Chains A and B, each alone.
Chain A
Amino acid sequence: MFARGLKRKSAEDGEDVEGGLAGAQAMPSYSLQRQSLLDMSLVKLQLCHMLVEPNLCRSVLIANTVRQIQEEMAQDGTWRVVAPQAAGRAPLDRLVSTDILCRSVREQEGERPAPDAGDGHTPDLVPGLATVPSAQALRNPQSSLWEVDSSRENRGGFQKSLDQIFETLENKTSGSVEELFADVDSSYYDLDAVLTGMVGSTQSGHGSGLQAFSPATAAPPSSSCRSDLGELDHAVEILVET
């Protein structure tokens, strides 16, 4: 199965490959869906920096969801760093039919990747890489060990971003919010409208239905936002001191 995934460079490969591909495209694997849920949740948390104080209950529930996913991924050994751009673009297209995540644990048992037993991380990673550009697919087996070793670090970095969000909710220094807005890419707002707003009510009842979610075209600037925060804090410190 993994071989098929890697062989997928040319479309003329045998039916087996096609079958495997068709399966992956029609019903994204549990890992991929889980990853996309994680990315979506992180984007939702980042978009909390609005003019009005964000809804704390919503933020807490999303953060708890993120922690749950993170814990499960740590157990599976599938916890890895995925470049935000790649994670942002591909999975969002797939979110239209993500009912696999809504199914109970019992139903999913057959589909989840088995918890890793030893150093065999590659098998667990590859199914999730089926839609990642081939260059990255080739690279990842090499870096999988690094990713495993630094999984704790990733979790630490990840935890740090959650903490940052709560701290930001707690202590907003005056001026920082406007500066955040000034630096953020305008595509931020498109994503916000798509993810957190209702689909336009100008359409009929059908249009507002669940399937009308339109994937964002821009990658969520999650990583750039985080680094911006660090720079901004520095800038504000300088301003305050002078």
Chain B
Amino acid sequence: MSTIWLFFVFFLRKLSGLGASASWLCSRLPGRFRSVAITVCLVVTWEVSIGGDMFRRVLGKTLGFLGYTVQYGCIAHCAFEYIGEFVACSGPSMEPTITSHDVVFSERLSRHLCRIEKGDIVIAKSPFDPHMNICKRVIGLEGDKICTSGPSDVFKTHQYVPKGHVWLEGDNLRNSTDSRSYGPVPYALIRGRVCLKLWPPHNFGALNQSPTGRIVKRSD
């Protein structure tokens, strides 16, 4: 049956080369799709030969539209991936610097060029759930000695940040799960550095320094 259809298509007048090769390709598909695909090819070829110019123009416009969509989609991807993105924060762990439902702009260049520094607020993927993002401040970089005991403890405990990791803490120390509970975070999980607060408008601008005084000072 499919062979008969193939011959019919092949000898159709004003047959475009595209229709013939499309039908040949369709004959290679498994049985289920074969009849559907061949019917579609026939319809398209018939339309092209009968409808002529107008169909070709519509087809050309559609393909052009698709091409532009793909191109602008790729440019948008590159912009969000390598320049910056807008982030809406939620949760109380960065108060008073960032409150819930604030919108900030996080830039990606520092992360790709490895220029994240102590005191920066970063957006990172959560180590325990890769679909969730966390927004914390960098307290220590690799090699730093972090004091992990609380202020009320008598015996101070310290921990060194391993190579390739960072120590993150929220500004609201009382209400934040951060590296004090889950340990140092690999640098590669960081997505970007928060540089600008955009919403609410009365708080527009750069972000404040750390209010906690926990940032490790390098002694050398």
A binds B: no
**B residues engaging A (CB < 8 A)?**
none
**A residues engaging B (CB < 8 A)?**
none
